Chain A
Amino acid sequence: MAEAELPAPVSLRRFDLSDLDDYWIWASDERVTASCSWEAYKNKDDLRRYMAETVLPNPWFLAIIAGGRPVGAVSLKIPEAANDRCRVELGYVLAREWWGKGVATAAVRLATEAAMAEIQGLERVEALVEIGNKASLRVLEKVGFQREGLLRRYWWNKGLIWDMAIYSFTTADSFLI
C-alpha cells in the first residue's frame, strides 16, 4: 500500500461528549474496527454511553486531533498489579480517511512521550500488533519502537486466534521522529 505522507499538525487532548459525532465516524466504520477488540457501533446512544462511562473518566484515553477535530483515539492500559507498573500497553485507532498521512505516527510519539514524562516509574511502553497489519507495524517502527518478537496464537479476537508482534519503547530508546 503506497502511503502519501503529508505532514499534518497533530495534537492530543481529553475527549468531551461534544466529540460524539466525530467519534462516530471511526467507531462505526467496520474497516477501522476489524483490527480492534470491539465491534463497530451501530447506534449513537451506545457510543455516547461508552464515551460517558469509559472514555471521559480515563486520563489516558485521548483524542487524536488533526485538521482541528478528533480523527481517532490513543489509549494506555495500565497494569492492575503495582509490581507491573513499569510498563503500559498503548493502542490506537484512526478514521479511515486519515490513514497514510503520518497522523498515527505523530499520535503514538506524542502519547509515548507524555506517558514517559508523567507516569511515575514507567520504563516501558509496549504495543501489540497483528503480524499481518503491515501499516500498523510501520507506525511503531517509524516512531522508534523496537520489535521484540512474535507472540504465537496470543490473542483470541472475533472468532480467530491471532499471532501478535510485540514492540516496545523503553527509557533506553530514542524517538526517530
Chain B
Amino acid sequence: METEENRKGDNRSIHLPPPPPISLRPFDTSESDIDGLVALAADAAANRFLRRGPFASRDDAVRFLHDKVLPHPWYRAICLPDGRLVGSISLRPGISGDGAPRSASLGYRVAPKFRCRGIATEAVRAATAAAFEEWPELERVEAVADVENPASQRVLEKAGFAREAVLRDYMVLKGESRDVIMYSCMSRDRMARKTLKT
C-alpha cells in the first residue's frame, strides 16, 4: 500500500536547479563598471587566493581598466539578468606561430556575496564555449586552482574540466609559493558532452 512516506522515499528523478541566467559582456568605461571593478578588487583583501588586491584609489581602477582590461584579448564582466556586475572572467590565448591560438588560460573571480549559486561554474562553461567559438583552432583551455581552494576546484570540475597535475611551488601568492592544480578542457571533451546531452 502506498503511503505518504513511501511516495516521498521513492523519488528517483533528481531535479537540479537550472543554471543561473548570467551573461558575459565586455567591460566599458562607464562609472558603474569602474565601481564594479573597485568592488570586486576590494573583496580580494579577504580572499587569500587572489593575487591582485584592492585598488589604492579609484584612479588606479581607471588605469587598470584602460591598461589591462580594455586591451585584453578576452576579458568579460559576469552579470546577473538585472545588469548587476558580480564577477569577471578572462581568457589569455597562447602564442602560436601562425597567429591562431591552440590554447587559452582562464581566470575568474566572483564577488563573495554571490558565491555558492553556480555563477562561477556557469561563467566558466560559457567562457569556455565562447573560446572554442572565437578561436577555431583552439585545442585546450586550461585553468589553475590553489590546492587549498576546493571551491574553485569544484567549479572547474563541474564545468567539465579534467584535473591533470599538481604543480608544486608554481606561483607566488601574498609572498609565498603555492602548489596549484592544473585543469584543462579539450574541444573533444565538449563534443563528447554535447553528444551525451541529446
Contacts and interface: CB of A to CB of B under 8 A. Distances in A.
Interface string A138-171: 0000000010111111101000010000101011
A107 B139 CA distance: 34
B164 interface: yes
A84 B94 CA distance: 17
Contacts of A124: 167-170, 177
A109 interface: no
Interface stretch (B10-18, B96-104, B111-119, B145-153): B96-104
A86 B140 contact: no
A121 B176 CA distance: 10
A155 to B, nearest CB: 8
Given A156-B96, A156-B102, A123 B184 contact: no
B192 interface: no
A150 B102 contact: no
Contacts of A83: 51, 171-172
Contact of B165 (A149, A156, A171): A149
Nearest to A124: B169
Interface residues of A, number: 24
Nearest to A147: B165
A48 interface: no
Contacts of A168: 167-169
Given A152-B186, A156-B102, A84 B172 contact: yes
Interface string B168-198: 1111100001000010101000000000000
Nearest to B166: A148
Contacts of A149: 164-166, 182
* Prevailing SS type, chain A contact patch: strand
A85 B92 CA distance: 19
B168 A148 contact: yes
Contact of B164 (A86, A146, A151): A151
A161 B165 contact: no
Nearest to A86: B177
A96 to B, nearest CB: 25
Contacts of A86: 169-172, 177
Nearest to B171: A84
Interface string A107-134: 0000000000000010110100000000
B172 A153 contact: no
Given A86-B177, A149-B164, A156 B170 contact: no
Contacts of A166: 165, 167, 182
Contacts of B142: 151
Contacts of B165: 148-151, 166
Contacts of B177: 86, 123-124
A2 interface: no
The 10 closest A-B pairs by CB, nearest first: A149-B165, A123-B169, A156-B102, A86-B177, A153-B139, A148-B165, A124-B169, A123-B177, A149-B164, A153-B140
Given A123-B169, A124-B170, 10 more contacts: A87-B170, A121-B172, A148-B165, A153-B102, A153-B140, A153-B184, A156-B102, A161-B102, A166-B167, A170-B168
26 contacts: A83-B51, A83-B172, A84-B172, A86-B169, A86-B170, A86-B177, A87-B171, A121-B172, A124-B168, A124-B169, A124-B170, A126-B167, A148-B168, A149-B165, A149-B166, A149-B182, A150-B165, A152-B162, A152-B164, A153-B102, A156-B94, A156-B103, A161-B139, A166-B182, A168-B169, A170-B169
